[in-house]
Structure 1
Amino acid sequence: MSNIPKIHKKTKNFVSESTFFLFSFYFSTGLRITFAMMTPLALGVLFDQLNFGILASSGALIAGAGDNPGSFKVKLRTQSIGALFYLLLVLISQFLLPYREHVITFGLWVTFCGFFFSMFFIYGARAVSVSTASLFCIVYACSFYHKSIWFNTLGIMSGVLFYGIVSLGLWRIQPYRVIEQRLSEGIKLLSEYTELLLEYIKTKEKENFKKNRLKELYSKILEKQEKVHANQEDIRENLFKLRINAKSFSSKGRRMTIIFSALVDLYEQLISLNIQDDKLIESLKNSHLQADFTQGLLDMKEILEHISWAINIHKKIHRNIEISLLDKFKKRILDLEKYEEESGIEQTEVIHLLKHIRFIFRSFYKQTLIIKSIINGENANDSNTYQDLDIVKFTREYTYNFSTFKANLNLKSNIFRHALRVSTAILIAYIFCIILNISFFSLLFLTIILILKPVYGNTRTYALRRLQGTLIGASITLVIFLFTRDPYILSIITVLSVLGAYSFLSINYKIGISFVTIFVLLLVYLEHRGGGSLSNLLIRLGGTSIAVVIAFIFSFLFLPTWENKQLPKLIGNLIRNNLDYFSKISFNLVESNNQEMISDTEIKLARKEVLLATSNFSSTFQRIVSEPALSKEYKSTIYSLQTQINLLSTRISSLRTYNFTSNKDIVTDLDKKIIALIKELLNGAIVMIQKDQEEIDSEADWKEIDFNLSQKKLSLTTYQLKEIYNLVQQIYTNIKKIKDFKEWKSAEK
């Protein structure tokens, strides 16, 4: 009986997650691509033009793979350029197909295409999508059954055109729907992030907690941070550029901009909660607020879930945002201050930590109340807080010029080395197929271009997931064949598999590939009216396995790109971004009465760079740990440094959290001295990374202010600066230590 509530909770969570997924950006993408693919196929069957229907369906899939969210102008330009590439590749590939005399020419052609389109990584994600879709054209050209080149080309391009009409038409009908979905997803990610924080703290509260479990949770937290950053960057690019390019920005667009700005501030409050600080747990225990704190985090999670649902399915928020927790913390703080005054027993550190937690909760409630009032159509007096941001500065301009391409044509460029790896791997696979008279070169080509990535870690991950997904999909297809061969049932499963494939590919590659394998095998079976089902299944498994082996060998042995070589640059950039962020906040802290303070836009820009650099470093570290030939000691030290720099970012955010409240402490000479030393140490760390300098000149003066920092009655500002100062010392010392490792010495400065 005790398991019934757990089962009920799991069932409820499953239904909730499934429902949310059906309204998500990923499922709508899957629906769009499925509709664009299956409509031509259905029309082809209806009018007895199955070959043309298959070609048009393939063209829609190609165009869908090259599509990305964006403004109407950006989408139109991208799809137009993509269509031109698709046309040329389909035509040229058919002229050079290896019938007899064109065997060598076609091999050189696919090798050139592999190199040229792999270089598109230098232009960003949108260009990569178009390049991948372009290479799909060669895959389909190898599989054309109709002998007429113009018939095949017309079929493919009609599918490309149809998808363009569907995609741009849906954008015109609901231009903000994608941004709504991404906003909803971003708030849901914050809810999941809060849940991880809560689990981390609960685990740490246990007396005999397992360190491995804590480390595992912290890795999940960093992984979730990476997803939050990626989501926020995507929203910035789409929402802000939409607002900049629009002749008249709608009230809905303005409301979404305010919600997004509040969302980023909410995230800052969460990361400013220093969960790794042992003093935090101890202070909560000593003040008997442990249960209230965990309940507060749980409320945060639930509030964020309600907001996410409300945005996604267009409903009002009915949940009350209860702020009584603030009164509990305030009362306890006053009691501790009174006790300290009467007994003379110091409670300064506990008081400061409780104040900081209260500031975080208060700011969180403030932002969520603003979002709730906007969603419910009420007047939000505080919404003007976000109206003065210079949103142009938060977007990036991508330049797709040939000079950038030309500048990367050397072995110093990781993208150039990647392009050489891809093209050579394709050539080897082609030669392999010609010599052994293997007919499924297109499958090898497709697998290589999809899993061979610019860095070893990504290639390894995609290769394993591709292999696992193919095996799972093939197994499921075999089971389906054992139960039924009915063409109508198989057709329905095929459509559902297409939908599943293009809904999951972006969020779970292994599951996405499983669905791809199912629909490809079923589609071939239906197309050939039941012929060769087992042989097609074996070809799929065998071809994928061969391509994975080729890709993995080339990633490991041929001009490999090891990300640990980039560590000094990444760490240097991350420290520099944190220094810039700290400098701007501390300037406003010191010059609080000065009229020429740094604007909120500039500070949020600095914060954005810190978050992006942190995300890049975290994702890179996860791949580095999979690289061979790195000592455990080196990985362990890098992990410690990563943790310390991440903690530094949270402490700087903590300083900003308090700095932007109404009750500011007076900045003392001691505060100014600590600020100067923090900047000096961070600058020294950057110089040491770049030039292998041993130490900064004033290192002997570090301990000069330790006596002053041990005094009682530190203000909250001084306390926070002291914590940052101590952490920066640890970072500086760790960088000195890491310089002695051979891996660091051989890396690029």
Structure 2
Amino acid sequence: MGCLLTAPSDTIGTLKHKIVGVISAAFLAGLTSLIIGYASSNIYFTIPVVGIMVFAISYLAVYGFRASMVAFAGLMAVVLSFANVDTSMPLWQHSLLISAGGLWYLSLSLLWHFINPKHETEQLLAQCLALTGEYLQVRSQLILNIEKRHDLQQELFDMQNELNQKHESLREVLIRSRKLSGTSNYARKRLLVFIELVDILELGMANPVNYKRMDFLFKEDREFLKIFSDVTHYLGLQLIAVAKSIESKKAVPENKISEYIEKSRLAVKRYRDQIDLTQKREHVLMLHNLFDYQERQSHKINTIFGVVNDLKQGNAIFMKHKEVVKFITPQEYSFKTLQENFNFGSPIFRHALRLAMVVLVGFSIGAFFSIQNAYWILLTIVVIMRPNYGLTKSRTKERIIGTLIGGVIAIIIVFITQNTYIYGALGLLSLTMAFSLIQRNYRTAAVFITLSIIFIYALLKPDVIKVIEFRIIDTFVGAALAGLGNLFLWPAWEAENIKNVIATSIAANREYFLEIDRFYHKKGELPTSYKLSRKKAFLEMGNLSAAFQRMTQEPKSKQKDLGLIYRLVSLNQTFLSALASMGTYIRNHNTTEASKDFEVFVKQILHSLNNAEQGLIAQAEQKKTNVELLKEAKSRLDEKYEELVKIRNQEIADGKALADHDMRLQLQEAQLISNQLQWLLDISKNIRKTVFKTTSI
């Protein structure tokens, strides 16, 4: 029992956090079992004690994900205290054994850690590599798949959010381990791979071309675009190959990245040779942008190949500890956190109170109607009830479907055999499968949970059909109570908080934009502040997408201005992609000095973002941009580009077919920076206008 209760708290993180989490879960489970055990002797005493315990334990979730898993151990201990397990041992001894079981699990977990200390890092790294590879493969489809481009972009948004979460976990493991064990060769190489993965994501988010413009320019020359699509797909495939090699502990097979990049290079050359460059210069520059994007990605992927295959030690990574820890999202464990969240404005406070009330209702129903195994009702409530309505609704559906499927499978097996040894084996196997799948696929996990409970009870009670019947009924009752509780008891609708999430995302994008602007002026070594602002912009965009996703799962009556909010989410995502595109270009090219006209655009873009943020937070009035000033700046930027075009056309007329490297870069910069500035300005204006159209915010 102690092993089962504490296992969920063994989440990804540093060894120190793992030990503290499991010990806390073991202690909480034992203490909770002791308190509920003594309180259960009197029904009038049991009810208030259960309510207080459920609220207090659930409230621990204010300390983050690991704390919520520790709290889950306590909640499960409350539920299982009513399982009517026949034991002749004293209650205090029973509780100590539960805690001892948790410590036994910790000892096994630590033993495995010391036998294979790199397992968790390698597993996380492999997951990041594989997901990044899949991201690039989806990205490759954007070039040609016009009809599904909107769906593909939504899929990319979801994958970006998942990647950001993986990066957070891997960042903490690598940096905390670096602090404890120093900069070993292994740690240094894995940190280098992680840094390359972060850069690959930024490059992947960047839009090297305007897809609508590309569709128009290359509507007759799609075969050239297919080459670039195939190359990006191959790059993703190679990252997946690296992930598999890490998981299997084998050397990474040789790749043909250089051959594929050469195909892109030849495609640009072949296209340039068959057209009139003076008429289709924009076409060629667009292909050059695509090629530069793929070449940068290939360099980073080849670096990962070299590091993983030990072909090189990698560049030395010198970062001061004070700078490194800034990249870890801190978790505050002070008593002040409990105080600050002890109000109805806190979603966790409302969830804890809601869960306590629903558990008491479920307990009362079980006691009043003398339901057999009534604790199954409480088990269902605790497992599926979440702070927001959407996730509770989703888990309720998955739980019911999983329970019904499990019940049907169990009935079929019962009719085939009544062998108790088979029941025992199936119960153990199902329990193992349930725990391995509960984080990945809850519906399938619910199937195995149902099977394990039914077959374990089948060993104790011969009437298996009755066990299945009560299991299904109790699951329906618990699911109904959980759904109603989230709907009517202090519900936390996303519409109430979405404006703050949008404003935070806009502010993070603004800071990222300011860092790009500063770097464009100063160049040199990339500052830590740039990396931190980029990280924050990515994370806040993920938070916004997740909040919107939850909002779409809520009742229609609560989805205020859903269309406009979706537009804001999309605009913020597009703005971030445009920022990543500009930042990546400026970082990786020798650019000219930033002009005053560039600053005119920057100020007007910041003006729109600030106005939008104030409109969300303080209901400020809408302020338009200085149109005349922008027209003049745009005109001068266009003139600069046209001057370069004239010089290049004259070179062609004089017989110079190939442009100098510097001339090509100047043309590319003038066109790309000008287009990106105009794009960022248009997006920021649309964000501002959309904010002031909404009624819910």
Q: How far 1:62 sits from its partner (Å)?
A: 0.5
How far 1:199 moved relative to its partner? 3.8
Q: Quote the offset at 1:505 in angstroms.
A: 0.9
Equivalences for residues 308-327 of structure 1 within 5 A: 308-327=243-262
1:171 corresponds to: 113
Q: Paired residue for 2:290, among 357, 366, 391? A: 357
- Equivalent residue, structure 2, for 1:560: 491
Residues 283-322 of structure 1 aligned to structure 2 (within 5 Å): 283=217, 285=219, 288-322=223-257
Residue 252 (structure 1) aligned with residue 186 (structure 2): yes
Counterpart position of 2:408: 475
Amino acid at match of 2:425: I
8 A contact 1:258–1:387 mirrored in 2: no
Matches within 5 A, 1:166-315: 166-204=108-146, 209=147, 213-246=148-181, 248-273=182-207, 277-283=211-217, 285=219, 288-315=223-250
Contact 1:644/1:727 (8 A) holds in 2: no
Return the letter of the residue paired with 1:233: E
Letter in structure 1 aligned against 2:27: L
Please say if 1:716 is aligned against 2:674.
no
Structure 1 window deviating more from structure 2 (351-360 vs 275-284): it is 275-284
Asked if the contact 2:604–2:681 (Cα under 8 Å) also holds between the matched residues in 1, the reply is: no
How many angstroms apart in 2 are the aligned matches of 1:347 and 1:286? Answer: 16
The aligned amino acid for 1:113 is M
| Partner-residue secondary structure (3-state), 1:743 | coil
Q: 1:697 to 1:622 in 2, by over 3 A?
A: closer
Task: Answer yes or no: is 1:589 the counterpart of 2:520.
Answer: yes
* Residue aligning to 1:443: 376
The counterpart of 2:86, out of the listed 117, 132, 145, is 145
Aligned to 1:35: none
Match status 1:533 vs 2:473: no
CA shift for structure 1 position 615: 1.0
| Count of residue correspondences | 667
Change (3 A) 1:688 1:346: farther
Shift of 1:417: 1.3
Of residues 330-339 and 274-283 in structure 1, the stretch that sits farther from structure 2 once superposed is: 330-339
Residue in 1 that maps onto 2:648? none
1:15 counterpart residue number? none
1-structure distance, mates of 2:501, 2:634: 31
Counterpart pick for 2:37 among 69, 94, 97: 94
2:510 counterpart letter in structure 1: L
Q: CA deviation at 1:133?
A: 0.8
- Cα pair distance change 1:314/1:600, threshold 3 Å: farther
Whether the 8 Å CA contact 1:471–1:541 is kept in 2: the answer is yes
Q: In structure 1, what is the equivalent of residue 104 of structure 2?
A: 162
Give the secondary-structure state (helix, strand or coil) at the position aligned to 1:289: helix
- Are residues 661 and 727 of structure 1, via their aligned partners in 2, closer, same or farther at CA, if it must alter by over 3 Å? closer
Q: Which amino acid aligns with 2:197?
A: L
Q: Is the 8 A contact 1:273 1:360 kept in 2?
A: no
Equivalent residue for 2:278? 344
Alpha-carbon separation, structure 2, partners of 1:311 and 1:281: 39
Q: CA RMSD in A?
A: 2.5
Whole-angstrom CA distance in 2 between matches of 1:547 and 1:724: 55
| Alignment match, 2:649 | none
Counterpart CA distance in 2 for 1:715 and 1:524 is: 75
8 Å Cα contact 2:268-2:287 kept in structure 1: yes
The one of the two structures with greater contact order (alpha-carbon pairs below 8 A, sep at least 6) is 1
User: Which of residues 526, 541, 552 in structure 2 aligns to 1:625?
Assistant: 552
Cα offset, 1:736, TM superposition: 2.6
Report the CA distance between 1:391 and its aligned residue.
Answer: 2.2
- 2:423 and 2:679 map into 1 onto residues whose CA distance is 65
**SS of the residue 1:624 aligns to:** helix
Please report the TM-score for the alignment, with normalisation by the length of structure 2: 0.90
Quickly say closer, same or farther: Cα 1:417–1:401, change in 2 above 3 A: same
Which of 418, 425, 439 pairs up with 2:358?
A: 425
Q: In the alignment, residue 78 of structure 2 is paired with which amino acid?
A: I
Unaligned runs of 5+ in 1: 1-57, 745-749
Q: SS where residue 585 of structure 1 aligns?
A: helix
Partner of 1:395: 328
Q: Per-residue displacement from partner, 1:326-351 (whole Å, max 9, x unpaired)?
A: 445445556777888x6632523x33
Which of 542, 562, 578 aligns to 2:473? It is 542
| One-letter amino acid matched to 1:250 | S
Alignment-derived partner of residue 118 in structure 1: 58
Contact 2:22–2:106 under 8 Å retained in 1: yes
> What secondary structure sits across from 2:145 in the alignment?
helix
Alignment of structure 1 residues 6-17 onto 2, 5 Å:
none
Tell me which of 574, 578, 594 is aligned to 2:509: 578
> Aligned partner of 1:742: which letter?
T
* Cα distance in 2 for residues equivalent to 1:645 and 1:174: 42
CA distance in 2, matches of 1:391, 1:321: 35
* Deviation for aligned residue 1:705: 3.5
- Contact 1:111 1:427 (8 Å CA) reproduced: yes
Aligned counterpart for 1:653 among listed residues 566, 580, 590: 580
The correspondence for 2:619, drawn from 682, 686, 692, is 692
Structure 2 unmatched ranges of 5 or more: 646-665
Partners of 1:164 and 1:632 lie apart in 2 by: 45
Write the deviation string for residues 155-209 of structure 1: whole angstroms up to 9, x where unpaired: 32332121011011111222221110011011111122223223444431xxxx3
| Whole-angstrom CA distance in 1 between matches of 2:151 and 2:162 | 17
C-alpha distance in structure 2 between counterparts of 1:631 and 1:75, whole Å: 39
When the two structures are superposed, what TM-score results if normalisation uses the length of structure 1? 0.84
Deviation at 1:324, TM superposition (A): 3.7
Q: Does 1:675 align with 2:602?
A: yes
What are the Cα deviations for residues 658-714 of structure 1, in whole angstroms up to 9, with x where unaligned? 112244344333223222322222222222222222223644445443434555458
- Aligned-residue sequence identity (percent) comes to 22
Q: Equivalents in 2 of 1:485, 1:728: separation in Å?
A: 72
Show the counterpart of 1:45: none
CA distance in 2, matches of 1:518, 1:468: 13
Contact 1:681 1:729 (C-alpha < 8 Å) held by counterparts: no
- After TM superposition, the structure 1 stretch with the greater mean CA deviation from structure 2, 479-488 or 641-650, is 479-488
Q: Which moved more, 1:699-708 or 1:470-479?
A: 699-708
Conservation of the 8 A alpha-carbon contact between 1:306 and 1:319? no
What letter matches 1:221 in structure 2? L
Which shifted more, 321-330 or 187-196? Answer: 321-330
Task: Answer yes or no: is the 8 Å Cα contact 1:68–1:126 preserved in 2.
Answer: yes
1:613 aligns with 2:521: no
1:179–1:481 Cα change, 3 Å:
same
User: Residue in 1 aligned with 2:430?
Assistant: 497
Distance 1:70 1:298 in 2: 32
Post-superposition CA distance 1:295-345 (Å, at most 9, x none): 1122112101111111111111123242244445445556777888x6632
Q: In the alignment, residue 579 of structure 1 is paired with which amino acid?
A: R
CA distance in 2, matches of 1:283, 1:633: 39
- Give the partner amino acid of 2:6: A
- For 1:482 and 1:360, the matched residues in 2 are separated by 61
Q: Distance in 2 between matches of 1:703 and 1:441?
A: 72
Q: Determine the structure 1 residue equivalent to 2:344.
A: 411
1:246-290 per-residue CA deviation (whole Å, 9 max, x = no partner) reads: 2x3432122111111111111112111468731234455566421
Q: Is the 8 A contact 1:578 1:649 kept in 2?
A: yes
Preserved contact between residue 655 and residue 717 of structure 1 (Cα < 8 Å)? no
Cα distance between partner residues in 2 of 1:378 and 1:461: 47
Deviations 1:503-532 (A, max 9, x none): 111111111111111111111112x1x522
Distance 1:181 1:271, change over 3 A: same
Change (3 A) 1:684 1:709: farther
SS class of match (1:399): coil
